[in-house]
Amino acid sequence: MEYITDRITIDADLCNGKPTIRGKRITVQTILEFLSAGDSKEEILEAYPSLEPEDIDACLRFATKLMENHYEIRPTA
């Protein structure tokens, strides 16, 4: 298991290698999807009692860091 931050982990054997929160079976993507659907932190924490408010903040920081990268779309054959 690799820790990307103190709260975001990547493990090839967990959730198909997607970034998860502290090695749990809760992906960063899941939390971001809840937030983009309009759910509040409180609603997410109620749905996932093993999470802490800092976990949700870490998901947002992780997504922000990803957007700092340069992306280029290239045609493929």
pLDDT tens series, the chain, 77 aa: 777 778 999 999 999 999 999 999 999 999 999 999 999 999 999 999 999 999 999 999 999 999 998 889 999 87
Secondary structure of the chain: what % helix, strand, coil (to 5)?
A: 45, 10, 45
- State the residue range of the domain holding 56: 2-67
**pLDDT at 77 (0 to 100):** 79
The structure tokens 């609603």 sit at 43
Establish if 8 belongs to a structural domain: yes
Establish if 15 belongs to a structural domain: yes
Query: pTM score, two decimals?
Result: 0.85
**pLDDT at 6 (0 to 100):** 87
**pLDDT at 39 (0 to 100):** 98
CATH number at residue 36: 1.10.10.10
**pLDDT at 36 (0 to 100):** 98
CA distance 18 to 62: 12
How many CA atoms, within 13 angstroms, populate the side-chain half-sphere of residue 15? Answer: 18
Count structural domains, the chain: 1
